Each structure stands twice: as C-alpha cells, then as structure tokens.
Structure 1
Amino acid sequence: MAQVQLADGALNYQLDGPEGAPVLVLSNSLGTDLHMWDTQVPAFAAHFRVLRYDTRGHGASLVTEGPYSIEQLGQDVLALLDALKIERAHFCGLSMGGLIGQWLGINAGERLNRLIVCNTAAKIGSPDTWNPRIEMVLRDGKAAMVGLRDASIERWFTPGYSSTNPGQAKRITDMLASTSPQGYAANCGAVRDADFRDQLGEIKAPLLVISGSHDAVTPPAGGLFIQENVAGAEYAEFHAAHLSNVEVGEPFSRRVIDFLLAR
C-alpha cells in the first residue's frame, strides 16, 4: 500500500493488476476499508489496474474534523487520480462509496469510463437515523464502535451467510470496530446530508446498479430508483444483504467484469 498527500493529510491506497490496463477504482462502504474488496481483487486484476483506497476517516487514511460531505470525498478521489496521473477510470463504489460514485457521475463524468454503484441509494436514511448515531459515537468513542460492530453482522450479511462464513463475517465487521470514531461520525454526516434524487439524470456514464434482495440498509427500491432515473442504466440484484460483494463473491465479480468489458 502507498499514500498520496492531499492538502490536509495522506490518503492510503493500493494498486493491483497490470500496469497499462484500464484503471478500476474501488470505493469502500461506511465503516470498512479497502480490504472489503479482497474477494474481488484477483478476478478484477486479471483485466484491470485495480486502485483501492481508504476513504477519508477510514483505515490508514487521514482523519480530519467533520462533518464531511460527499462532495469532499469525491474531490478526494479526483485528487487521487490526479496524483497518480490517471485521466479516466472505471469506478465501483458500495453504499457510501456508491454515493461518491453518484457525485462523480453528476459532477465529474468526464473522468469516468463506466460507473457501478452497489447497495446504495440517491438518499440513504434521514437525520433522525444519523444524528443519534453520530452523537453516540462522538460521546462513547471506541466502545460505540464495538457496539456497532456487533450489531452490523445482521445488517451487512444474511443469517445464512454469517452462520456458514463466520470468519469472513468477523473479518469484515472487525473493520468497523477499528475505524476512527471521529472519522466514522464525520462520514455519517456526509451520508446524512447527501441527496442526489433530483440530479441522477445528469449521469451520462454507462451505469450498472447492483442491489441485495435482503438489504435492509439500502433496499432494492433505492437501487431501482437510480436505475430508472439514469438513461440506459443496467440493474442486477443478488441474494445478499448490504455487502453483496462479500456475500455473493464470484457472481458479483463476474457481473461487474461483464459490464466493464461490454462493447
């Protein structure tokens, strides 16, 4: 892994795959880090130069004072691309990463080849949901993050998956417990304030929307709304909860690759 220096700190990233191949940027969900994509990297790296990064406030990236905004997080992606001299790339983001993808599609479409947004919505939750969580995390710190980790298993995975893959479920949810409370709360603010429902028509990049049929965090209706409001957008739905890339694995990877390689 490596870092690029932004104006206010360092953004952590990792590159896999052959130099010279088309670049695919992967953007993590709230409370995870770039390793949430470990399942996909071998398949993706066979076709693409895979660029993963820890969103501001997560993993080994900078933690700055919040709240953040999705625009700020999108500008971080553009700064990363600029630093690595990448003019255009594919982008795949899940949940909060999907919000970042929508912002890029609306505001920086000239930097995108194709766009995938997964387990996300044009608006996720309401202040009544986010504000108590932000207050709890800022008040209770690491203890709150451990509590969120323990509650996240049933939100992020179906019962069948978590019971048959306890090690993988623990690996992913442990990322939440190790996330900076300040960074997590600041990103909650970004998700809380994002609302792209009236701007989706501005996305011109070829778009694939992926949902999980058992996703209680961002139900399929939110993904279908995006697909219906972006001209030519494709839609795929898997038997999964919120982290469909982890739970479904190979079929998820294959659908993304097929979309990105389509002519």
Structure 2
Amino acid sequence: MRPGGTGPMVELTFTALGGDRGSRELLLLGPSLGTGVATLWEQCVPRLAEDREVVGWDLPGHGNGPSTTASFSIADLAAAVRGFAVEHGEGRRVRYAGVSVGGAVGFELALDPGPVADVATLASAPRIAEADVWAERIELVRRGGTSAVVAGSAQRWFAPGFAERQPRVVGRLLDELVAVDDTSYTLVCAALADFDLRERIGEARVPLASYVGEHDAVVPPSQLPEATVIRGVAHLPPAEDPATVIDDLEDQWATTTA
C-alpha cells in the first residue's frame, strides 16, 4: 500500500497488518528506529484489529521500506503519514500510535493532525536524546554497519530479564536491526538529532497520550512526567508487554471516541 501525494522528501511504505478496510476506524502504527513495524507490533495486532483496520508504516531501509540516500526530517515522515491518512481515512476515525521515532512522528501529527483524531506515543518524547548522542551513533554505523549497534540496542530495548524469558522475540527484532540499510539508519538518526518540539507540544490540536517504559534509558519516565508509566518494560513496549499496551490504548481511545 502506497500513499498518494507523498511529499518529495521521503516515501514511506504502508503495510496492511489486520482488520477490515470497511471498518469505521483506521489505526496507523509507527515503528521504532531499527525495527520493522510488523514485527514490533505483531503481538498487539490481533486484538487491535478486532474492531478496526490496522496499517503500519516502515522507515526507509527498515522492514518493507526501500532504502534511501536522501535526507529527511521527522516532519517529513509525519507529512507522509498524514497524506496516507487523508487518502485512506475519509469517512472514518483515524487513530495513530507510534514507538520511539514513530512516537516522534506522533508528536508532529498532534500539532498538525489532518484527519488524525488522536495520537498515542510510546517510549518517545518531544526531544529524544541530544545531538551528540546521534552523531556518535551515526559514526558507529558508518564504521561497522548496524551490526555494530546490536549489543547497545539489546541493552536499551529490553528490560532486565526479558531476553531470557522471550529469546525468540528478542532474536527476531535484533535480526531485523542487522538487516536495516546502514545509510537509511543514519539518516533517521540525523532526523532525530534535529527533532525538538519541547517548546511547541502544548499546541497539540488533538488528544495526545504518552506512555513510557519503567526501565527505558532512552526516554526515562523522569523526562516525561505527564506520561503513563508501563511497568516492567524498557524501550519497545508493544513487543515486551503487548497486553498492557493494548489495554492502555483501548482505555485511552474509549475516552476520545466521539
């Protein structure tokens, strides 16, 4: 599935994950850096798709997304998602939920939502790390590819003990990270280095709910005190505790359904 009218700066790939195209709701799901959206959200989709169509988008060079050498911003990613929502959400309630960089896109959408009626961000914030952190990550991947960030990602992504309890889940996500296009990965890092909505997030035009992991070192709970803390998880809540993520999202949506 491809969006019509996508801006010139970035093209995203959208994948039908579940549900019925004739549903009254369209849920758009966003990925984290280094993950494919289908694998990240796969344990959540069956329940989320019971009453709505669920579509995920992939970052360039991640999952189903073709690689790129062209720079883009988080706002460009949000514009592509918004364009898809315009084309495919007519006459339906459109919701959005995204993780990490997918959540950053959610913050952008909350400011300029188009047809998106409400936004949920997970393991994300209006500013994710500082520019020097992303510069170091870019240099590391340029030297050694995404394989060079696997060990660090495993520590950041998962709460203590999760890898021992769920080795298959961890293995699949880390295998996907290795398969990510190196240049595309660094371009996402560069976009995050420039991303900062801290002074504007109060201008959100739709309901905005944020969730952070208790053990997340990337976006610690102290960074976003107004967020709901998901206990026992780190940076990839939909993979670590899908049941709680689903319950939290459904509870939030129950309060925002017109």
TM-score (structure 1 length as normaliser): 0.88
Identity fraction in percent: 28
Alignment of 1:60-139 (within 5 A): 60-86=64-90, 89-106=94-111, 108-139=112-143
Secondary structure, in 3 states, of the residue corresponding to 2:197? coil
1-structure distance, mates of 2:60, 2:183: 11
Q: CA deviation at 1:103?
A: 0.5
Alignment partner, residue 176 of structure 1: 177
2-structure distance, mates of 1:50, 1:63: 24
Q: Is the 8 A contact 1:27 1:34 kept in 2?
A: yes
Alignment of 1:1-263 (within 5 A): 2-4=1-3, 6=6, 7=8, 11-18=13-20, 19-35=22-38, 36-86=40-90, 89-106=94-111, 108-140=112-144, 144-224=145-225, 227=226, 235-262=228-255
Gaps of 5+ in 2: none
Q: CA deviation at 1:240?
A: 0.7
Q: 1:115 to 1:10 in 2, by over 3 A?
A: closer
Q: CA deviation at 1:79?
A: 2.3
Q: 1:112 to 1:82 in 2, by over 3 A?
A: closer
Output the amino acid matched with 1:255: D
Output the amino acid matched with 1:37: W
2-structure distance, mates of 1:86, 1:195: 30
Secondary structure, in 3 states, of the residue corresponding to 1:183? helix
Q: Is the 8 A contact 2:75 2:105 kept in 1?
A: yes
Q: Is the 8 A contact 2:99 2:123 kept in 1?
A: yes
CA deviation digits over 1:28-50, x for unaligned, max 9? Answer: 00110112110110110012211
Secondary structure, in 3 states, of the residue corresponding to 1:216? coil
Q: State how many pairs are aligned.
A: 250
1-structure distance, mates of 2:83, 2:99: 20
Q: Is the 8 A contact 1:120 1:222 kept in 2?
A: no
CA deviation digits over 1:125-162, x for unaligned, max 9? Answer: 1121111211232343xxx2112123311211112111
Secondary structure, in 3 states, of the residue corresponding to 2:209? strand
Output the amino acid matched with 1:249: P
Q: Is the 8 A contact 2:62 2:181 kept in 1?
A: yes
Q: Is the 8 A contact 2:86 2:114 kept in 1?
A: no
The root-mean-square deviation of aligned C-alpha atoms, in Å, is: 2.0
Gaps of 5+ in 1: 228-233
TM-score (structure 2 length as normaliser): 0.89
Q: CA deviation at 1:110?
A: 3.9
Q: Is the 8 A contact 1:67 1:185 kept in 2?
A: no
Q: 1:41 to 1:216 in 2, by over 3 A?
A: same
